[in-house]
Chain A
Amino acid sequence: MSILHRKLRRDLRQRRSQFAAVIITIVLGIALFGATYDAYQNLTDSYHQLFVTLNTADMTIAGGQTDAIVQAAKGVSGVADVTTRTVADVPVQVNGDHKMLGRLVGIPSGSQPSIDKVDILSGVYPDASAPVLIEQHMAKHFDLKAGDTIQILGPSGWVTEKIAGVAASAEYLWPAQSRQQIIPSFDDFGIVFADESLLATIPSSAAHQEVLIAYKSDVGTAGLDRLLEDFATNNGASDATPLADLPSNAALSEDLSGFQEMSLMFPLLFLAAAGMATYVLLTRLVLSQRGQIGLLMASGFRKRTIFGHYLEFGLLAAIVGAVFGAPLGGLLGSVISKMYTGALSIPATVTTARLSTALIGVTFALVAGALSALAPAMRATRLIPAQAMRGLIPAGKGGATWIERFVPPLRRLPARWKAVLRGVGRNRNRTISTVVGVVLAVTLILTFWGMIDSIQVLLSRQFDLVNSQNAQVYLTGQATPEVVAQIAAESGVAHAEAVADLPASIQSATSQYHTELLGFQPDTKLHSFIVKGHDVPLPSSGVYLGTSLEKDLGVKVGDTVTIDVPDANIHTTQTVAGFVNEPLGTYAYISLPELTTLAGGTNVANTVYLTYAPGAQPETMRNELSALPVVGAFIDSNALQSMAEQFMGLFYAFVGVMLALGGLMAFALIYNTISANVAERASEVAMMRAGGISRHTISRLLTSENVLLTLIGVVPGLLFGYVFAYYGLSVYSSDLFKWDLYIRPTTYVFTVIAIVVAALLSQRPVLRAVQRLDVATVVRERSL
């Protein structure tokens, strides 16, 4: 081992806590990259494997002239297979009296469908004696298994059917009811795969035909998607959904894109922080070793050797960080993949730890290590030996700070406090690196905290402000005034309203969007319409649209859109009266009287929204209302909210871990910059101590300077944190979820407090070193 390597080893040992902080940051960065990138790859592979195995439809077309669409699709080059099936949303009863909405999805008698097969997890394929399979989420929620029974509401009342088994489906990996209701309550909605012969008994008003189309594996989907969507529109279909837009797939894709974005964002943030810490540390090291460097150069060491020596510090930290971070990332990637697929009951799980990911991570670390050490190493080679070995203060202008010029009374501060004030601008590089460190730390904390805040606030807005109903009941018939009155008269019901909830397609000049058209009473008490931040009533004419449609349909207020509602035989052109800001889903709203008029006077209200009287127990209300013969299915809004919060649980956990890691990194980063700041002052501190200034006073001065630097970094940090949080949420925003950034004022306050506390805590070891400073040693030997 060369002497320089021995020096390297001992320098590292001497500054072990600071290098440990750098290495931990690198380990975190690489591990998080590996974990999120591998998780992204694993989940993508898991989904793909399932889609291939179960031959999931590349295009699903609902309604319209089914035969014509089938014929047209079969004639398209690139289409491998075309089949049809029946789908119906009908009330079902499970476990005796639990009424809910069931989606019956038709499957052929006796054999698997050629497209959208089901994976039978237990039991057998349905036959005439046991004609239904229960989707795994529903089966798990209600503890249903082969041999049990459910009841389905048919034209002549409830019919009991035997369960053949439990199945998973690629189409319903996540059992979302629609793109608008991406978060189902398992209490209220479930998927049932039923023999087509059973679906034949369902009234045509409740059922619709779907055409399933599978593409050949070697064709591009975009062109086919457009062509088939045109066929669908031309043949009166109510919806044409490519695989990517399937509600379940879209919801999971949101998570995937989140993983993908985070796999880039996290290593960038953490490695930038590690790079900054390394840069600060090495810059201080070079400064404190000026004399040694001068001596080495004067003794004949080549600049290249000196450069390599200091570059090695960065590379070594990167290598050690990568050695621990890369395997940890692979391990975490597998764990996250398993946890995620386990939490969502996704049957196929790929949990490979990829060598390529590890190699990318190692490369990231090495590049970050080399880049951060580059400037200090070059600085070392630029030292002039004779100057470096002398103890003079380098020539410079010096000067008062700008704040002293603008605030003249500051010029009368005692010299020690002037030293604090000017210490901030004393060394531009040090100030910038400390401030950048604080900015990064604040950014990390505010980004993640802001995301949590936003989601909590927006869920509260959705369930407490936008939707005011406690429950929604689907009826066995229409929501006539008599039925509404009957429900309103039930004990515990405070208010009930008839609402129309109808599938609809909305067409602008350029695009089409499939959603639900909701018809409310003009003076509804159960839904708030938030337009440009104000709660406004429904318009007497025209429609409100969800905000994302402004962009997706390319329309603005005052434009017209064409609305088709097949179930009510409505084809109408309506003016866009406003865009409603709602976190979950993208709906269209119209006043119920207007909708009734459009339907030719027919009552189209098919559901009743209601609120409970104070003290009413949700479970009792469910039981009592479900027992009414007019009630086909019951949806508990509280359960839906709980489900939404549970759905966000994974996200909270993920962001919470990131928040903790961000805090840890903030501590490491601030510790490094502050300790480097203080180490650089050793000789001044020793001089002050020798002059009789107490340790307490010196600690107070150093603390003031560090807090001042921290506070300077806080302001841009809050700004960057806001921008990053905005970006982070926008990754998850679509027509399914609209996560507007909302950060509580207290979050800003707590973030600042957290950072200042981190700064104060992280300087404690440094201040302890100041307390223990051996004045005699320092005044003898300047190079600490």
Chain B
Amino acid sequence: MIDLTGVTRTYGDGPTAVHALKGVDLSVERGEFVVVLGPSGSGKTTMLNVIGGIEEVTSGRLVVDGVDITTMNEDERTEFRRSHVGFVFQFFNLIPTLTALENVQLMAELVGRNHDDSLTALDAVGLADRADHFPGMLSGGEQQRVAIARALVKQPPILLVDEPTGSLDLDTGRQVLTQLRAVSDRDDRTVLLVTHNAAIGGMGDRVIRLHSGEIASIEPNTRALRAEEVEW
């Protein structure tokens, strides 16, 4: 589903160059829930961004959902993001003038999904009854769930999630993680979740540890924890 072969990502050049990814090799299967752990600056967000086509790789080969995005230009990568991946960020970036449902519709319209699809996506994250609420009327956890619904409504095979609980307290964080896990288990979607929170690693089918732009370890979990079992 996701294949990285010798992927590097370097910012700048010369003596001040920053090597965010240094020849990363990784393969992720369909329906897997993978948690990427690492301290700040380890390259985890960069890895997420190159997989999602937000950033270009400096070298190496990257095939996502059967598509080689290594050689794509910006417009092609935009098309790719539209149909292959959904993003969830730490900061939800909802549009405050649109209701929860309309925020989801914004993306739904992009790929020709209808009103019912948007409602279904909201229902999937447990917010059908908040569809007509504006972001300012929702809690942080609810806003993040709307952001998940917004990513899901396109029905992408891959969900890329960056620090989804970074702005949330424990309880709302668990609610969000529950939804993300359900996305993977129920819909057979690939979820790649990056976080610096080691406790969340217990939820993944596999845990990948990054350090200084390199994969330090890849460990399978024999039993993935449920969200309510996670403590931090």
A residues at B contact (CB < 8 Å):
390-399, 414-416, 418-419, 422-423, 425-426, 683-684, 686-695, 775-776, 779-780, 782
Offer 29 A-B interface pairs, CB within 8 angstroms, sorted by A: A392-B143, A392-B167, A393-B135, A396-B137, A397-B137, A398-B99, A398-B134, A398-B136, A398-B137, A399-B134, A415-B102, A415-B103, A415-B105, A415-B108, A419-B102, A422-B98, A423-B97, A683-B91, A688-B106, A690-B81, A691-B81, A691-B87, A691-B154, A692-B78, A692-B81, A693-B82, A775-B54, A779-B54, A782-B91
Contact B82 A691 (CB under 8 A): yes
Shortest distance from the beta carbon of A697 to any chain B beta carbon, whole Å: 9
Q: By the criterion CB–CB under 8 Å, are B97 and A692 in contact?
A: no
* B45 interfacial contact with A, CB 8 Å: yes
Task: Determine if A779 and B89 form an interchain contact, defined as CB atoms under 8 angstroms apart.
Answer: yes
CA separation between A692 and B112, bound complex, in Å? 13
Q: Give 11 new A-B contacts, CB below 8 A, not counting A691-B150, A779-B87.
A: A396-B137, A415-B102, A415-B108, A416-B109, A418-B98, A425-B97, A683-B91, A687-B93, A692-B154, A694-B78, A776-B49
A418 contact set on B, CB distance < 8 A: 97-98, 102
Chain B proximity of A434: nearest CB distance (Å): 15
A694 touches B75 (CB 8 A): yes
Chain B interface residues toward A at CB < 8 A:
45-46, 49, 52, 54-55, 74-75, 78-83, 86-87, 89-99, 102-103, 105-111, 133-137, 140, 143, 150-151, 154, 162, 167
Q: Which 7 A-B pairs have the closest CB atoms?
A: A398-B134, A692-B82, A422-B97, A396-B136, A687-B93, A391-B91, A692-B81
Residues of A within 8 A of B74 (CB): 695
Say whether A693 contacts B87, CB under 8 Å. Answer: no
Residues of A within 8 A of B93 (CB): 683-684, 686-687
Quick check: A415 and B109 within 8 Å, CB to CB? yes
Q: Which residues of chain A come closer than 8 Å to B89, judged between CB atoms?
A: 687, 690, 779
Contacts of A779 in B (CB 8 A): 49, 54, 87, 89, 91, 162
User: Smallest distance from the beta carbon of A667 to chain B beta carbons, Å?
Assistant: 28
Chain B interface main SS type:
helix
Q: Pick the contact of B52 from A395, A397, A419, A690 — CB < 8 Å?
A: A690
Task: Contact check, B98 vs A693: say whether CB atoms are below 8 A apart.
Answer: no
Say yes or no: B106 contacts A426, CB within 8 Å: no
Determine the residue in chain A with the shortest Cβ distance to B79. Answer: A692
Give the shortest distance, in Å, between A704 (CB) and chain B (any CB): 14
Q: How far is the CB of A770 from chain B (nearest CB, A)?
A: 13
What are the residues of chain B within 8 A of A415 when measuring CB–CB? 98, 102-103, 105-106, 108-109
CB distance from A21 to the nearest CB of B (A): 28
Q: Which residue from chain A places its CB closest to the CB of B80 in the assembled complex?
A: A692
- Per the bound structure, the CA–CA distance linking A694 and B94 in Å amounts to 18
Q: Please tell me if the beta carbons of A393 and B136 are within 8 angstroms of each other in the complex.
A: yes
Chain B residues with CB under 8 A of A414: 105, 109
Knowing A392-B140, A396-B134, the reply to whether A426 touches B107 (Cβ < 8 A) is: no
In the complex formed, the residue of A with least CB distance to B162 is: A779
Contact call A391/B96, Cβ cutoff below 8 A: no
B55 touches A692 (CB 8 A): no
**Cβ contacts under 8 Å, A692 to chain B:** 78-83, 107, 110-111, 154
Give which listed residue, A394, A689, A693, A776, contacts B136 with CB less than 8 A: A394
Asked whether, in the complex, the Cβ of B95 is within 8 Å of the Cβ of A684, the reply is yes
Which A residue sits closest to B139, measured CB to CB?
A: A392
Report the minimum CB–CB distance from A695 to chain B (whole Å): 8
| B167 touching A390, Cβ below 8 Å | yes
Please give, as numbers and ranges, the residues of chain A lying within 8 Å of B151 by CB-CB distance: 691
Give min CB distance, B141 to chain A, whole Å: 11
